[in-house]
Structure 1
Amino acid sequence: MNASVFSNTVNKSTVNFVENEKRSGDSGTNSNRNREESQSVQYGGHQIGKGVNESNSKKDMYNSDTHEGKDNTLRNSNTTKVIYSVDILIKELKKIHDNLYKKRENDTCKIRPASCVIIGIAKSGTQELLNFLSIHPNVVQKHNLPNPNLFDKNSYLDRRKEKMPCTYSDQIGIVKTDYFFFREEMPDKFYKFNKKLKMILLVREPVERLISAYSFTYLQKKQHKLVFNYRLEDVPEIDSVFVDQQNGRVKTNQFDLTHSVYDLAMERYLKYFSRDQILVIESSEFRKDPAAVLQRVEQFLGLKHVIKDDYFAYNKNKHFHCLKTLQGMVCYGSDRGRAKLKDITPETRRTLHAYFKPHNERFFELIGKRFNWTGL
């Protein structure tokens, strides 16, 4: 098969969770789910609202996990509950947001131009950043906007503004687009749309981002068996996708590979916008300490500090942070934070790092800071 088909801590004391390998019988589990989901969910000692009854959803997974660490809200518990459901997570984040927001008298929610855009990059934590940032009462999120014409002045005025988030006068609308950072026309579109636009860019060590992107592609094939009329066993090994196995050269035209080359896109943006209009975040920083990064975002956007460590708990098994509850945590789907399904050989890794090194060095010069991307 042609490989080109694929171009395209709670506070500082972390709570550790180890999944209990013993599972209840189906009947008992379903009964417990219905009881548990009807209970109120609490955050940082504050009751936000009722849990969501979605016991029949295949996305929801309830695990009784062993609590090994110590935490003020959980120290009297021997076990803690972990809920894996992106739907429940989003709903509970919204409850916190709504509980914190105090609407001004006589203020109305209107469709307004977005004040900030998360411009990428895919597989760097953009979705988590957008969702966790939505805790803030003065932030309203809007998910993927795949159509770049939404940022044309004429298109925007021509009723396309309905795609933007509805905000009150004291709120900021934020949208996320994983691939706009690399589209050559976007800096010009953004500039004409709003010269004062603020942008957030999440980046990840280029080779690790490649592996993550390809693992996601592989997972999709594994889950759906047949995608675009080819079989899972036809999926080529990752080494042959990005490096020619005959001559050892990097296949520079591969879609995902070009999305790990950051300097060329950054140069285009800096022709239109000042450096202080683009907040650059390294994905490992966000993964290790989301509250600290979100506080940087609050400062960047001129918002009061609201988001604190108390909102998050670290899931040791999945290696990502979740929304903290008194009973445990609410996390993304159980497939989030998966182990690498596809990896590369040491030789391919060295080849790719050698290719990305000059691009990384130029990117560091452009943003005025360095990241530990040695990778070897």
Structure 2
Amino acid sequence: MCILKSGKMTGNLDSHNTSTNWLPDTSIKYASMSKVTDWWQGYLKYQVPKSVRRKMLIFLFIVAICCITLIYSCFNCYVICSGTCNVLSIKPDLMTQNAQNITRLSSSHLKTSQRLPSCIIIGVRKAGTRALLQYLDLHPSIVASAKEQHFFNTDRYKLGLEYYRKEMPPSLEDQITLEKTPAYFSDLMTPERIYRMNSSIKLLIIVREPVTRLISDYTQLKFVKGQRNKEIEEFEDLVLDENGEVNTGYRPVQRSMYYHYFVNWLEFFRLDQIHITNGDALITNPYPELYNIETFLGIPHKFSQQMFYFNASKGFFCMSKESLETPCLSDTKGRPHPKVDPEVLEKLYDFFRPRNKLFFIQAKQTFDWP
């Protein structure tokens, strides 16, 4: 019921005998408020036309959508907000910026936490694991541990997974946490331990031609002993026993017998969980190998052929200076190998050739090795 008073006239709007024609033109027409509309009309005594209300609602809806989109874009480092988000000024282009810096800036605006790795580079030693890690660490979808953890192959495993998790770098929920420890590949207990942590984890293995890897392993050991003022025997004396046969008791020789260790990993993981990278190809042309890894991990393809150039002094490819701040590996990488007796080399090739074929059968892929 609504009673209108204007001047000396008083009327009942709900009366059937009362006409609204007697209302003056200057009077405000009051409307009765139903239970459905009074929650939003409040004390507003005059009725807004439906066409106006509809336009207001559409306008408010559009404003709300724009605000949500703007907020999302500003917090997403892969979307550039011109003018509004100049404080970020981030472009997801590996050719112009270090993608790792993009990840760090993104982490400052989005929630990060330390997570167990969802991908591990498990080996092989002296096959290019460090180069592979540094390349992948440039990808905005990957955050890599800076050091080798040696968690699954040492007594650190007794410290528990919580200790291991806290050793990992902070990452976003949609990023891959990556760890590298080449010694995992040849350790007998590591496959089962990693499986218990995450049975669906993805594993990366990088291999080189076994004899070349063997020589590189020897070169590394010789360098380390030289730093400690210790001498090491000649390569030929270590890789051959007293009978002139290949010394299978020498650890660098064992590490090049890939089939012997790969079978242990296949006991716990499907082959489609393991990606084998050609370490020799990573040296001569890294882009195709990195492209295949991006596909394997299911992440966007950010690398391009133009990002790499060949460093003649080091003997391998480096990232262009426009792509990142530290474009090449350290000086400890790419050391010259010692000259080896050709007869010893041929004997090593003959030794590894049938063993390589066993590895090819296991991996269901082949490599162009002598």
TM-score, normalised via structure 1 length: 0.68
Contact 2:123/2:205, CA 8 A, preserved across alignment: yes
Distance 1:251 1:104 in 2: 50
Residue from 133, 149, 152 that aligns with 2:136: 133
1:282 aligned to 2:278?
yes
CA distance 1:105–1:165, shift in 2 (3 Å): closer
Cα deviation, residue 101, structure 1: 7.0
Alignment correspondent of 2:309: 313
Map residues 219-368 of structure 1 onto 2, 5 A cutoff. Answer: 219-222=223-226, 224=227, 226=229, 230=230, 232=231, 235-244=232-241, 246-326=242-322, 330-340=327-337, 342-368=338-364
Could you tell me which runs of 5 or more consecutive residues in structure 2 were left unpaired when the two chains were aligned.
Answer: 1-92
Q: Relative contact order (C-alpha < 8 Å, sep 6+): which is higher?
A: 1
Alignment correspondent of 2:188: 184
Query: Aligned residues, how many?
Result: 275
Map residues 43-122 of structure 1 onto 2, 5 A cutoff. Answer: 46=96, 48=97, 95-99=98-102, 103=106, 107-122=110-125
Residue from 142, 145, 161 that aligns with 1:156: 161
Contact 2:150/2:156, CA 8 A, preserved across alignment: no
Could you tell me which runs of 5 or more consecutive residues in structure 1 were left unpaired when the two chains were aligned.
Answer: 1-42, 49-94
Cα deviation, residue 317, structure 1: 2.5
CA distance 1:167–1:329, shift in 2 (3 Å): closer
* Secondary structure, aligned partner of 1:182: coil
- What is the one-letter code of the residue matched to 1:260? S
Alignment correspondent of 1:36: none
Contact 2:94/2:303, CA 8 A, preserved across alignment: no
Cα deviation, residue 251, structure 1: 1.4
Contact 1:211/1:343, CA 8 A, preserved across alignment: no
CA distance 1:45–1:205, shift in 2 (3 Å): closer
Distance 2:119 2:238 in 1: 35
Distance 1:209 1:123 in 2: 6
- What is the one-letter code of the residue matched to 1:240? D
- What is the one-letter code of the residue matched to 2:203? M
Contact 2:203/2:273, CA 8 A, preserved across alignment: yes
Alignment correspondent of 1:370: 366
* Secondary structure, aligned partner of 1:322: strand
- What is the one-letter code of the residue matched to 2:137? S
* Secondary structure, aligned partner of 2:313: coil
Contact 1:202/1:283, CA 8 A, preserved across alignment: yes
CA distance 1:108–1:263, shift in 2 (3 Å): same
Cα deviation, residue 372, structure 1: 1.2
CA distance 1:236–1:323, shift in 2 (3 Å): same
CA distance 1:220–1:101, shift in 2 (3 Å): closer
* Secondary structure, aligned partner of 1:268: helix
Distance 2:222 2:157 in 1: 35
Contact 1:150/1:160, CA 8 A, preserved across alignment: no
Distance 2:225 2:336 in 1: 16
Measured against aligned partners, the alpha-carbon deviations of 1:297-352 in whole angstroms (never above 9, x if no partner) come to 11111101111123222112221111212599832233532321x23212211222
Distance 1:45 1:111 in 2: 28
Distance 1:44 1:175 in 2: 22
Cα deviation, residue 261, structure 1: 0.6
- What is the one-letter code of the residue matched to 1:98? N
Higher strand share: 1
- What is the one-letter code of the residue matched to 1:195? S
Contact 1:121/1:181, CA 8 A, preserved across alignment: yes
Distance 1:179 1:267 in 2: 16
Alignment correspondent of 2:71: none
Cα deviation, residue 44, structure 1: 7.2
Distance 2:95 2:331 in 1: 26
Aligned-pair identity in percent equals: 28
Residue from 190, 199, 203 that aligns with 2:203: 199
Distance 2:196 2:111 in 1: 27
CA distance 1:153–1:146, shift in 2 (3 Å): closer
Contact 2:278/2:289, CA 8 A, preserved across alignment: no
Structure showing greater radius of gyration is 2
Measured against aligned partners, the alpha-carbon deviations of 1:156-183 in whole angstroms (never above 9, x if no partner) come to 03x3321123211110000001110110
Measured against aligned partners, the alpha-carbon deviations of 1:127-183 in whole angstroms (never above 9, x if no partner) come to 0111111111110001311232689597103x3321123211110000001110110
Cα deviation, residue 282, structure 1: 1.4
Contact 2:94/2:302, CA 8 A, preserved across alignment: no
